[in-house]
Structure 1
């Protein structure tokens, strides 16, 4: 059996976060938005010479080298900071395609010079290019400087007004006193001009912000038409996780297995897999977006855990499934590691798969839909 060209395999899957195709290079220069979006997201390819229905048309009537020069000059003219995509020709079964490939940029954010950073900055959401908000522009700038949102100071909150008891109790349970020095080393607080301030990470862990909550729902059947139960959990992050776990357990079916004279009742879905997925959702969600929260939906046939924010820092689902780890919230991740809630980075998805395989149930589905995972 003849092996298909790798690019053809990508095209057959259709347009995505990392792939877009055109029959020919649009004269409107709208294609530049796609290149900017790729550079601000996870990188990607714009393939020219492919129809919307994924048919290879080719560019036999074009001077490809002239077209490549035109693309380079247009990018230099329209985009800031300077972005240098890789432009090359792919020959698939005698059909010549032109590929504009760009990696995730190191000088985030990229934008159209004519519109400026505030209006001309784009990101790739699914298979579309979206203008990013001012908050998202700031987030891209943080990513460029390798600064996580949860490590930033919140100057509006007086540290002395916060009740640190929930966090202190968690650390005490692991024989790790939460001393002032520990708070500083974990970046839960920071010193600015001889004054200690809480970081967003500390406030998130304490459940200080309204959007730091988990909403759980049990639906009748396989749709969202009818609620059977609904709970919204706030408070410190650890209590939220425990409450969500209890909610899920209360609504999962048990199955009995008899081994010899012993009967064992187990959940229909292995609970360690669900707990791993829940911890990942809490640890990696986008807390800089104050308008959304984690949602857990339990149906007759599935448990669905939805976390705000796409995959962090240009990570693709393909990379995540292979074990690559990118930490969006460094403070929260460090605390989870300190409290043994995380074993090792990049192993969560693999463990979830292993739990499900061992339980002889279908493999879980991991997906990125729009700005949610």
Structure 2
């Protein structure tokens, strides 16, 4: 980390320990470190500071650099590294990094702890807070607890700083700002003052009280030349993995993106398509490449994973896994809307500023239309319906290549039937036997098969008749919630 010695020197200038700084000599008791990480992360959020710090090798009273004998990278609890032990017992939003440095021939270890986001940071499911220079259980201080939750609930990931105290030219050197002007179709200003005007207006840069500049998380995640320059966000790089066959037994390729989400997006989509099956279709003498998955469906599914991920969950980023018969796109966080209402419900995003800017730059579709397009393009290509799986702290969207109707499971058939009814309903139409046959690419001879599928979907309480009094021949269906 850059300027580590300067940071430690500045922190040592404080007369006393604060609610966001803790000095140690050689005390590396694991339980103490865990509770202090919780307390310091929560206190940083309460005091609206980006980070809190634990520093070893500093005299607790004089703040003189006296050196320490150990560092967190080498300490273990049993056979487990202490950092891994701590992460296993801290809540998933605990975000910290440890560094060691030699200052005047004395070893100093520092733990940089990011402020609590989305919820309080807990250790062994208990949240702590700093009261003066002491670590206390948060529930013992209800007033502080209420104030902390108010700060957390009103804190936005995009607005927080990813790098601080930068000269304007140094800040711009870290950003691929030319992409912004290209996508907005604006002439790029010829001087840094003109460029910075747009960067400040978009909250990509922020002018600090000391006259220097900070790059926000929004600016870094969307425009960083290299995400590795931003230690906290480097783990949010997109990972693409290609496997041989239909399982994870044999990995063929792995790619970890280092570019930000804006400039790297088109290359990412092309890279994914290059790893998926395709064939050449000759029509009227024209040669056209036909891919196994609609490009628009891939674009929207990947964009959704980038936009709607939960940045408070550390140590993981969007992952795209490519198999012979499907693409699985996984991101941290679960949807803020019921997945059964993902088409018709008003859209919600935990990262509104990021979502808004990506839409204005043309990276993804207008608000609320992405899932419509994913489903419609899959239906038009006669592909199985996209599948949505929820886990404890992540969501996975699966796009399937072509599978014959007879090979689809009943679960996949009824899900496709339900989504077809949803799409029809938001278009002001209703599902019919005929429209569902067309959706699966089946002829009139399959009417009885489709009728049985409709009855099964009704039995699962996913759809219902539009007008129950209509004769069976002319029956139409709508989603159960309509």
* CA positional deviation for 1:234: 0.9
Structure 2: unaligned runs, 5 residues or longer: 1-117, 130-145, 189-193, 396-482
Hey, what does 1:334 align to over in structure 2? 356
Cα deviation, 1:212-257, whole Å, max 9, x if unaligned, reads 3111111111110101111111122234323322321121111344
Hey, what does 1:233 align to over in structure 2? 257
Between stretches 281-290 and 221-230, larger displacement belongs to 281-290
Query: Computing the radius of gyration over CA atoms, which structure comes out larger, 1 or 2?
Result: 2
Hey, what does 1:355 align to over in structure 2? 377
Hey, what does 1:166 align to over in structure 2? 176
Distance 1:285 1:139 in 2: 23
Hey, what does 2:204 align to over in structure 1? 188
* CA positional deviation for 1:356: 0.8
Distance 1:271 1:260 in 2: 23
Pick from 323, 332, 347 the counterpart of residue 325 of structure 1: 347
Matches within 5 A, 1:117-132: 118=128
CA contact (8 A) 2:183 2:362 kept: no
Structure 2 residue 195 is matched with structure 1 residue 179: yes
CA contact (8 A) 1:212 1:234 kept: no
Hey, what does 1:199 align to over in structure 2? 216
Pick from 363, 366, 373 the counterpart of residue 344 of structure 1: 366
Distance 1:223 1:138 in 2: 48
Number of residue pairs matched? 243
Hey, what does 1:144 align to over in structure 2? 153
CA contact (8 A) 2:179 2:263 kept: no
* CA positional deviation for 1:190: 2.5
Distance 2:295 2:148 in 1: 34
Change in Cα spacing, 1:225 to 1:306, as seen in structure 2 (3 Å) is same
Pick from 350, 366, 372 the counterpart of residue 388 of structure 2: 366
Distance 2:327 2:367 in 1: 24
Matches within 5 A, 1:33-44: none
Cα deviation, 1:133-163, whole Å, max 9, x if unaligned, reads xxxx999756632x42111234645254332
Change in Cα spacing, 1:157 to 1:253, as seen in structure 2 (3 Å) is farther
> Secondary structure in 2 aligned to 1:201?
helix
Cα deviation, 1:53-101, whole Å, max 9, x if unaligned, reads xxxxxxxxxxxxxxxxxxxxxxxxxxxxxxxxxxxxxxxxxxxxxxxxx
Normalising by structure 1, report the TM-score: 0.57
> Secondary structure in 1 aligned to 2:234?
coil
* CA positional deviation for 1:349: 0.8
CA contact (8 A) 1:252 1:267 kept: yes
CA contact (8 A) 1:151 1:330 kept: no
Distance 1:227 1:337 in 2: 34
**CA RMSD of the aligned region, Å?**
3.1
Hey, what does 1:310 align to over in structure 2? 334
Q: Which has the higher contact order (CA 8 A, sep 6+)?
A: 1
Distance 2:308 2:182 in 1: 25
Change in Cα spacing, 1:322 to 1:202, as seen in structure 2 (3 Å) is same
Hey, what does 1:123 align to over in structure 2? none
> Secondary structure in 2 aligned to 1:367?
strand
CA contact (8 A) 1:221 1:299 kept: yes
* CA positional deviation for 1:173: 4.6
> Secondary structure in 2 aligned to 1:276?
helix
Hey, what does 2:323 align to over in structure 1? 299
Matches within 5 A, 1:264-275: 264-275=288-299
CA contact (8 A) 2:321 2:328 kept: yes
Change in Cα spacing, 1:271 to 1:243, as seen in structure 2 (3 Å) is same
Change in Cα spacing, 1:181 to 1:224, as seen in structure 2 (3 Å) is same
Structure 1: unaligned runs, 5 residues or longer: 1-107, 120-136
